[in-house]
């Protein structure tokens, strides 16, 4: 990518107008990428902006260290501030994962010298949290409630209730399979340092070409950089063969609607375990979760997940939404509206599936992210709605006035 000039802009463009139907303005990604031999010219680059925003050649400016990293590092009005460390970072970066993705104000997308940065940790209550939620509620320097998100190094202390992930795969390999707050370690049998923290789930590939509205795969750095961290740990290569596919909403669902959202990959296959990324064999986003919370799913074989009577012993995940009255919505239809408060996943994603406004009953599946935000939320167990109280979600956004459970179980809405 060196020496390449890029210009990426997002322009609202008027879409075709259908008679009698009020049609909203669409967002069309216009990407002009200069001279990228071998690369689709319509693809946007994953990162844009000046090298110096994100990299420092000597970690020195006027003979003072430039890096802001570690707990407390964040963007404040366009500059990196705070942090417990000024040590040089890998890839000559000016900060670490947490620092670059944190903001002292409430905005969840910021632009610094042309770089458009998605924020996952705000120092104050975030205005429009992105699809993965926000670490504000779990952070020691934020809401400080360990039940409301994953406790991650640089953001919060270890969970006060949980010594490890509920429903682990057995082995307690540090740091990922114990606590995501642990310092990097080099487990026995592995030749490489394992970072944990954000990198327990993400394999960063910031210079991989982005995907626009097509299905992201290996060459694009996988959906939201969800490559196999197990494979990365074993091979030390960030171009992992296993990873999650999907279609990425261009503003990370900062705004979302039935016809504007991510498209998630699910599966109905029984998960396999052959180690080193085989856990992601179907490229489904729920398989990332199940790597650390294995028994919360129909793990390996169906045995143990059903009672002999045929009922589930845990809420099903990666199971088809039945084309039955209980799920058909009000008034009943065989294609109820898609609701980003309780998203479903597709077993196979093809071009044209972006922003699909309906749920395909009999085909789409319920998954871990139907009910949970992977980073954190205002609610216990990082749920997408307030299950303990009135079940409502993201107060004030008007997306769903009722309980998130009822987005799918539509026939039960006479209860609340």
362: left (phi over 0), alpha (psi -120 to 50) or beta: left
Asked if 51 is part of the footprint of ligand HEC (rule: CB under 6 A), the reply reads yes
Q: CA-to-CA distance for 262 and 317, rounded, in angstroms? A: 18
Count residues near ligand HEC (CB under 6 A). Answer: 115
Return the residue of 142, 286, 336, 378 that touches ligand HEC, per CB under 6 A.
286
Q: CA-to-CA distance for 274 and 271, rounded, in angstroms? A: 10
- Residue 222 CA to its chain's centroid (Å): 11
Nearest approach, Cβ of residue 282 and ligand HEC (Å): 11
Asked if 173 is part of the footprint of ligand HEC (rule: CB under 6 A), the reply reads yes
38, 68 in Cβ contact below 8 A?
no
Using the minimum distance from each CB to ligand HEC, give the nearer residue, 310 or 396: 310
Nearest approach, Cβ of residue 216 and ligand HEC (Å): 7
Residue number of the CB atom closest to ligand HEC = 291
194, 208 in Cβ contact below 8 A?
no
Q: CA-to-CA distance for 408 and 343, rounded, in angstroms? A: 9
Residues 6+ apart with CB under 8 A from 352: none
Return the residue of 368, 379, 394, 399 that touches ligand HEC, per CB under 6 A.
368
Instruction: Build a one-symbol-per-residue string for 370-409: x at contacts with ligand HEC by CB under 6 A, - elsewhere.
Output: xxx-xx-----xxx---x----------------xx-xxx
Return the residue of 151, 267, 354, 355 that touches ligand HEC, per CB under 6 A.
151
Instruction: Build a one-symbol-per-residue string for 16-45: x at contacts with ligand HEC by CB under 6 A, - elsewhere.
Output: ------------------------------
154, 197 in Cβ contact below 8 A?
yes
243, 227 in Cβ contact below 8 A?
yes
Using the minimum distance from each CB to ligand HEC, give the nearer residue, 115 or 411: 115
Nearest approach, Cβ of residue 364 and ligand HEC (Å): 8
Q: Is 11 buried (19+), middle (13-18) or exposed (0-12) by CB count in 10 A?
A: exposed
Residues 6+ apart with CB under 8 A from 355: 259, 260, 261, 263
Asked if 187 is part of the footprint of ligand HEC (rule: CB under 6 A), the reply reads yes
Using the minimum distance from each CB to ligand HEC, give the nearer residue, 344 or 399: 344
**What are the structure tokens assigned to 227, written together?**
């490559």
**Near ligand HEC in 239-268, by CB under 6 A:** 248, 252, 262
Nearest approach, Cβ of residue 287 and ligand HEC (Å): 6
- Asked, as a colleague might, if the bond just before 175 is cis with ω within 30 of 0, I would say yes
Nearest approach, Cβ of residue 165 and ligand HEC (Å): 3
Return the residue of 126, 291, 329, 378 that touches ligand HEC, per CB under 6 A.
291
Asked if 204 is part of the footprint of ligand HEC (rule: CB under 6 A), the reply reads yes
């Amino acid at each position: 990518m060196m020496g390449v000039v890029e210009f990426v802009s997002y322009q609202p463009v008027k879409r075709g107008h259908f008679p009698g139907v009020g049609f909203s303005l669409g967002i069309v990604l216009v990407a002009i990428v200069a001279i990228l031999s071998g690369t689709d010219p319509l693809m946007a680059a994953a990162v844009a902006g000046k090298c110096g925003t994100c990299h420092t050649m000597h970690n020195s400016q006027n003979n003072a260290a430039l890096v802001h990293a570690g707990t407390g590092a964040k963007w404040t009005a366009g500059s990196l501030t705070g942090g417990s460390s000024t040590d040089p970072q890998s890839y000559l970066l000016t900060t670490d994962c947490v620092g670059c993705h944190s903001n002292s104000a409430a905005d969840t997308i910021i632009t610094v010298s042309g770089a458009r940065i998605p924020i996952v940790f705000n120092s104050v209550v975030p205005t429009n949290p992105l699809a993965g939620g926000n670490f504000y509620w779990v952070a020691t320097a934020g809401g400080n409630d360990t039940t409301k998100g994953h406790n991650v190094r640089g953001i919060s202390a270890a969970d006060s209730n949980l010594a490890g992930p509920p429903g682990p795969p057995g082995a307690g390999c540090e740091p990922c399979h114990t606590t995501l707050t642990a310092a990097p370690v080099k487990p026995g049998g592995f030749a490489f340092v394992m970072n944990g923290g954000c990198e327990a789930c993400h394999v960063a590939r910031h210079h991989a070409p982005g995907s626009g509205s097509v299905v992201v795969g290996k060459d694009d750095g996988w959906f939201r950089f969800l490559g196999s961290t197990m494979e990365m740990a074993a091979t030390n290569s960030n171009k992992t063969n296993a990873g999650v596919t999907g279609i990425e909403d261009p503003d990370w669902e900062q705004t979302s609607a039935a016809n504007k959202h991510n498209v998630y990959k699910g599966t109905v296959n029984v998960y396999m375990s052959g180690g080193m990324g085989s856990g992601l064999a179907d490229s489904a986003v729920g398989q990332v979760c199940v790597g650390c919370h294995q028994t919360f799913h129909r793990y390996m074989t169906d045995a143990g997940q059903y009672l002999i009577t045929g009922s589930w012993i845990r809420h099903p995940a990666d199971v088809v939404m039945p084309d039955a009255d209980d799920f058909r919505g009000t008034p009943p239809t065989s294609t109820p509206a898609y609701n980003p408060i309780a998203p479903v996943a597709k077993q196979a994603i093809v071009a044209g599936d972006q922003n699909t406004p309906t749920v395909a009953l009999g085909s789409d599946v319920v998954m871990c992210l139907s009910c949970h935000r992977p980073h954190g939320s205002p609610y216990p167990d990082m749920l997408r709605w307030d299950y303990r109280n009135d079940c409502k979600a993201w107060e004030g956004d008007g997306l769903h006035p009722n309980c998130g459970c009822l987005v799918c179980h539509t026939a039960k809405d006479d209860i609340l």
